[in-house]
């Protein structure tokens, strides 16, 4: 069985078989039950058009009511070369498992799923859908993505998503976040959650002595003596980076959590969304 099929089968079994009781989705709690007045979009029920506002604005506007609980969920995969790393499995595979689990959860809950894959620029999309085919396409995009020699552009991510995601949505951004994004503007319109994918080895590396390492983002070979003092200094920089990252996300009112490659993504996501 290929990697794609294995991930899809495992994620689907966990989401559809193990979600029991009165909480059929990992998405729950306050904050996602939107009421808004927005511009008419193709497919909206014309019975919900607000004719007074439409006349004033000279363009059709529709009312969205509380009983309409359909949630728009946009998943975003940040596919840089640094994902080609892992002590038990590659971060890229873990990211694909997270996307599979989240996607099946969205579909199970009857919500709209879309997916965006970023490298230096937006590379691929899956348009809003409630069909399981959208799950397959999203995960396939992540697994088949060639990350070697590429960087995930967190700097332009917020502006790009503002253009791409028109309707108020829950946006879940998944990546290793070795760059600090600016989501201040994006978070004013959308609910944002950041899922940080890491491997324990990159946060707490062992002393390796003299070694040659290949940087998967630019292909450069790094040679040197990776002694205990040097890897400790590296670990300290990672810790400082993450502290700055967490502060930036908090200031933008972006909720976040970290999932490691050795963890079960389904279990981790249930814990994450239960705590958020």
Quick: pLDDT tens for 179-190.
Answer: 999 999 999 999
**60: nearest Cα among 43, 79, 38, 77:** 38
Q: Which pLDDT band, with edges at 50, 70 and 90, does 219 fall under?
A: low
Is the pLDDT assigned to residue 42 strictly greater than 70? Answer: yes
The pLDDT value recorded for residue 20 is 42
User: pTM for this one?
Assistant: 0.80
Average pLDDT over the chain reads: 85
Of 41-50, 109-118, 119-128, 141-150, the one with minimum mean pLDDT is: 41-50
The pLDDT value recorded for residue 61 is 85
Which structural domains are found in the chain, ordered by start? Answer: 71-275 (3.40.50.410)
The pLDDT value recorded for residue 39 is 87
The pLDDT value recorded for residue 254 is 94
The pLDDT value recorded for residue 18 is 56
DSSP string, 162-208: HHH--S--EEEEEE---S----HHHHHHSEEEEEEEE-HHHHSPPP-
Spatial distance between the Cα atoms of 174 and 190, rounded to a whole number of angstroms:
16
Of 202-211, 238-247, 253-262, the one with minimum mean pLDDT is: 202-211
């Amino acid at each position: 069985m290929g990697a794609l099929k294995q991930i899809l089968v495992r994620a689907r079994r966990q989401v559809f078989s193990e979600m029991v009781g009165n909480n059929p989705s990992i998405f729950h709690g306050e904050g996602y039950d939107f009421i808004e007045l927005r511009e008419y979009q193709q497919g909206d029920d014309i019975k919900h058009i607000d004719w007074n506002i439409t006349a004033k604005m000279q363009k059709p506007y529709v009312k969205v009511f509380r009983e309409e609980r359909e949630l728009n969920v946009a998943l975003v995969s940040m596919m840089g070369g640094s994902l080609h790393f892992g002590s038990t499995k590659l971060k890229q595979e873990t990211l694909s498992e997270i996307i599979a689990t989240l996607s099946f959860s969205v579909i199970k809950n009857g919500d709209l799923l879309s997916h965006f894959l970023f490298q230096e620029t937006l590379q691929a999309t899956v348009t809003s859908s409630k069909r399981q085919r959208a799950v397959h396409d999203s995960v396939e995009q992540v697994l088949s993505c060639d990350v070697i020699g590429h960087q995930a552009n967190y700097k332009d991510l917020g502006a790009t998503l503002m253009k791409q995601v028109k309707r108020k949505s829950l946006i879940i951004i998944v990546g290793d976040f070795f760059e600090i994004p600016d989501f201040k503007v994006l978070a004013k319109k959308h609910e944002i959650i950041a899922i940080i994918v890491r491997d324990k080895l990159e946060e707490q590396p062992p002393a390796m002595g003299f070694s040659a390492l290949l940087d998967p983002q630019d292909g450069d070979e790094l040679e040197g003596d990776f002694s205990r003092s040097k890897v400790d200094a590296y670990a300290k920089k990672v810790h400082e980076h993450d502290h700055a990252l967490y502060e930036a996300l908090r200031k933008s009112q972006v909720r976040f959590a970290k999932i490691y490659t050795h963890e079960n993504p389904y279990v981790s996501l249930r814990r994450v969304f239960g705590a958020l």
